[in-house]
Every structure is written in structure tokens, then in C-alpha cells.
A and B are shown apart, each in its own frame.
Chain A
Amino acid sequence: MIEVTNLKKVFGPIRAVDGVSFTVNQGDVLGFIGPNGAGKTTTMRMIACLTRPNEGTARINGHDILKDSLGVRKSIGYLPENTPLYGEMTTISFLGFVCEIRGLVGAEKVREIERVVQVCSLSEVLYQTIETLSKGYRKRVGLALTLIGDPPVLILDDPTAGLDPNQKRDVRRLINNMASYKAIIVSTHILEELDAICNRSIVIHRGRIVADGTPAEFREQGGGRIDDFFEAVTRGRE
């Protein structure tokens, strides 16, 4: 469902992403890990058509990011880093806005809002403005945003950042529940998260993929500890 071929992105002298290729199929949850500034967010933004690669391309659900940006965006639910949302809107009007942009109106819109509100447990804050919500709720509104219209591909940039342990667990559970019928990419800093939600992961460092495998394989190579493995592949190359 997601085929990424040799993506490259240059910002001035910096090679932010330098030839990244991978595929994610339906039922896969791919964990994207790497140090800060490794190129995770840039890669995800290119896949979501928010910035254009200097080289390479990607196909999402059969749509090319360079040729059919609208088709790609119809197939993707994207959660940006730090969950920027329209603070002055209420939860329900924001979700309604997203529904309408995705072409859901009338009864369909009502049904879809009901569905995502239930999935993300938002019923308590429906009529609250987003700027007054706690971090956990904001994140959940962000997740609800990505689920509207049930896109087959989800790209979630650090969905558990800033959440407390219970909220983290909720988000992970949510992702696990959808894993079987979607292709999902999740970026994270937290190594334990790989075990909890991903069946595959990629370590990205200085714009390149330095490791690709299952969390279990990583642990094995790190002599039982994922963080040892992570340090070896990201520090060893400095």
C-alpha cells in the first residue's frame, strides 16, 4: 500500500533524507525510529504530499505523490508532529469540517463523527473549544482527524509524545485495533513502543535507513536490549 522509492530531500547544504526506500503492506505497522533530526518527519511529510522530494517518489494506494497529490491525500490520514489544530473551533465543528473536506455530508457526516468520537472517546469534549482541551484530548482529536473517511493509510508523527502512561496505552490500543486492515507508519522516540505496536521497524539516521527488521530481531542483535542496538547503529556511525 505504501511504496517508497529512493526519496531524497535537501535543505541547503543538509541532506535531510538521503535515498530512503521501503514498502508497507496492509496489516503492517511500521515503526520509524531515529535520533532527533534524523529525517523521520521530513520523510513522512513527503509521503503526505506536504513537501516535494528532490529525487525519488512514493506510491500510496496506487497514487503517485508527484502526479496525484489529491488521490494520495484522499487515501492518507496524517497526524502532524505536535498536533496543530484550529484552537478556536469546538471538537465537533472541527471534525465536521474534516468530514466535509473529505466529501462526507448530511447523514454520512453525522454517522462518521459518531464513529470517530466513539473510537477516540471524545464524547465528553464535543462542545469544548480545542484550545481548552488537555494534551491527551488534543492528541485524541488529532487521531480522530486522521480516521475520518476511514483512509487505508495512516501516517502518525509521534502520536504518543507528551502523553501520560495511561494515555499512551490508550493510543497504542487504538493503533493495534486498526492495524489489521490498514497500513500504518508511526514515528517515535520511545523504543518500548516498537514492541507495543509495531510488527516492523526502520531505524533512520542522518537521512538514511541504517536498520530494517522486526523489534525482536533488533533485540537479538542488541544482545537482549533494543536500546543497545539503537545506540550501536546510530552512534557507531558518527
Chain B
Amino acid sequence: MMNTALVVMKRELRGYFTTPLAYVFLFVFLFFANFMTFRSPFFEARQADLRVFFDLLPVLFLFLVPAIGMKLWAEERKSGTIEVLFSLPVTVGRAVMGKFIAAWLFIAVALLLTFPMVITVNYLGSPDNWVIAAGYIGGLLLAGCYLAVSMFCSSITANPVVSFILSVVICSLFVFADYPSVLLVLESFLSAAMLEAVENLSFVLHFESLRRGVIEFRDMAFYVLFITGWVLATAVWINGRREAG
């Protein structure tokens, strides 16, 4: 028997490509990724790497990933199809997994489609392709974090717009947690240990070493725990709602 999570994933992925959403997303993502990368002092820097592109990802994802995540559950609730889904023999956990993986795979495809950039830098010079690969792995994990938050936001409201705004706000807290200006404000009322804790919650901080080609255990642990936590929270929330209403 086919795993029900896989069936849900397949349906979801297909859904992306039967609506304009997927194409609009891919176009906007690829346009901005390429435009911003090559518009920056990419050529003047005379360095064959994708540093600029990876620097860009945290901000680019901030608006684009919630656009993918916002519909995951909100739309099901709004249209009532969630009743159909859960009247079928599929557990909440598997449905949540299926949807999450579908959206994540889709973003992975978007990331893969930036391959001409890799070819470009390889043509222009001889970059360290391991560093680039690590950067891509980091980018995918980073996207997973945004997506996990967005999926949770999508499960608590039946309105995709509310879900979008909520996820952008929550994600930006995690993006900007290690910005000097934010830390400066927090410094005035948080102890040093708490300040470090806040700083360590930042997506960008954990992306830093991956982007430079260093795969560190603590960064991986952060991503895995962060994603698992929000995905679990989504499952718990949906289960709770099912029982209540």
C-alpha cells in the first residue's frame, strides 16, 4: 500500500503546476535571484563565487516562501476540502508531512533552476564548487525554516492573506535577530546570556558558515530542530482544531 503521506504530496505538487502559482513563483524568484546577483558588484569583485546570491537568499525567501506556504492549510479550511481530506483514512501527521515535503520539493526545484549561475561562475573562473554546494544545502535548509513557519501560520487561519502577513512577520523576527541594530535595542533590557540566545535563533547566523562552505553540526541541529518543531506544532494544532470543532 502506498504511503498516504506520499499520496498527499503527489496531489499537492501536481496542484502547484495546474495553477499559475508555480510559474509566477518560479519567474519572480529566478528573475530577482539573477537580477540582484549580477546587478551587484558581481563582476567588479572579480571573484568567482556565488556569495552575493547566497547573501540575497534570506531576504528573497522572506517574501517568496510565505507565498507558497500560505495556501497549504488556509485554503483547505476556507474551501472546506479539509473535511473531505480528513474523512479519508489519512492521519493528520501524514497529511502535514505530505504537504510540507511537496512545498519544500517545489522550492528545491526553484533553487536548482538557478544552475546557470553556477555555470557562469565556472566559466568565468574556477570557484570552489564544494563551497557552492554547501551554500545550496544551506539555502534549502533555510527555505525549510521559512516554510515550516509559514505552514504553521497557514494552519491557524482560514485566510491566506492573514497567513502570509503573519509568516512574514514571524520569519523576519528570525532573520533580523542577529542584526547589530536589533541587538543594540535588546541589549538595554536583556542579560548577556539571553542576548546570545536570541542571536542564536537567527536563520542568517546559522546560514553564515554553510555559505562559506563549512558544514557545522550545531547549524544542522538548529535547522533540523527548528523545522521539526514548527511542523510538529502544525500537526498538533490541526489535530486540536479537529477535536474542538
What 0/1 pattern do residues 68 to 97 of B give for CB contact below 8 A with A? 000000000001110110111111000000
Contact indicator B80/A84 (Cβ below 8 Å): yes
Stretch at the interface among B1-9, B41-49, B134-142, B159-167: B1-9
CB <8 Å contact, B87 and A48: yes
Q: How far is the CA of A84 from the CA of B80 in the complex (A)?
A: 5
Q: Using Cβ atoms and an 8 Å threshold, which residues of chain B touch A15?
A: none
- Chain B at the A interface: mostly helix, strand, loop or mixed? helix
Chain A nearest CB from B156 CB (Å) reads 17
Query: Which residues of A are in contact with B by a Cβ distance under 8 Å?
Result: 11, 45, 48-52, 70, 73-74, 76, 78, 80, 82, 84-89, 93, 97-98, 100-103, 105, 129, 145
What are some 23 contacts across the A-B interface (CB < 8 A)? A50-B86, A51-B242, A51-B244, A52-B243, A70-B91, A73-B87, A73-B89, A76-B87, A78-B83, A78-B87, A80-B84, A80-B87, A82-B80, A84-B80, A84-B81, A86-B15, A97-B10, A97-B11, A100-B7, A101-B7, A102-B88, A129-B18, A145-B84
B126 is an interface residue with CB less than 8 A from chain A: no
- Contact at B15–A80, with CB atoms within 8 Å? no
Least CB separation from A87: chain B residue: B79
By a CB distance below 8 angstroms, the chain B residues around A97 are 7, 10-11
Residues of A contacting B87 in the complex (Cβ-Cβ under 8 angstroms): 48-50, 73, 76, 78, 80
Residues of A within 8 A of B91 (CB): 70
Number of A-B residue pairs with CB-CB distance less than 8 Å in the complex they form: 73
Chain A residue nearest to B240 (CB atoms) is A52
CB within 8 A of B83: which of A50, A87, A89, A101?
A: A50
Residues of B participating in the A interface, judged by any CB pair closer than 8 Å: 1-2, 4, 7-8, 10-11, 14-15, 18-19, 79-81, 83-84, 86-91, 242-245
Q: Contacts A48-B87, A101-B90 given; indicate if A84 touches B79 (C-beta within 8 A).
A: yes
Q: Give CA–CA (A129, B81) in the complex, Å.
A: 15
| B contact residues around A86 at 8 Å (CB) | 11, 15, 81, 84
Nearest chain B CB to A122 CB, angstrom units: 17
Instruction: For the complex, give the distance between the alpha carbons of A87 and B87 in Å.
Output: 18
Please give me the residue from chain B that is nearest to A145 by CB atom. B84
